[in-house]
Amino acid sequence: MSTEPSEFAIQALGLPTYTQLKERVTELEAALRDLRLTARVLLQNAQTCAVQHHGSTDEAGWLRDSRLRIEKAEALLQDFQKSTVSR
């Protein structure tokens, strides 16, 4: 006998089903990919503006911080995607 709650019991408690959670994760992954692309484009535009304004390719502190945060988020997203693919 399974100790897992039935779909009926889960719905009776008002909890999301496995299928609903899986769909939500898929939606969130798509939203994160969109945010990643937008962040990359905005960063590239900001870097170009900084070069044109200052005449230097040296990365300003806030640009470097932004790039590092984007790269960290990208790595987390890639790790998450790898872990969901292996399941």
* Confidence check: pLDDT of 38 > 90: yes
Helix axes 61-85, 18-54, angle to 10 degrees: 150
Query: Once rounded to an integer, what is the mean pLDDT over residues 62-69?
Result: 90
Flag whether the pTM goes above 0.85: no
What does the alpha-carbon distance between residue 29 and residue 10 come to, in Å, rounded to a whole number? 24
For residues 44, 50, 55 and 58, what is the CA-based torsion angle, rounded to 10 degrees? -70
Query: Once rounded to an integer, what is the mean pLDDT over residues 28-44?
Result: 92
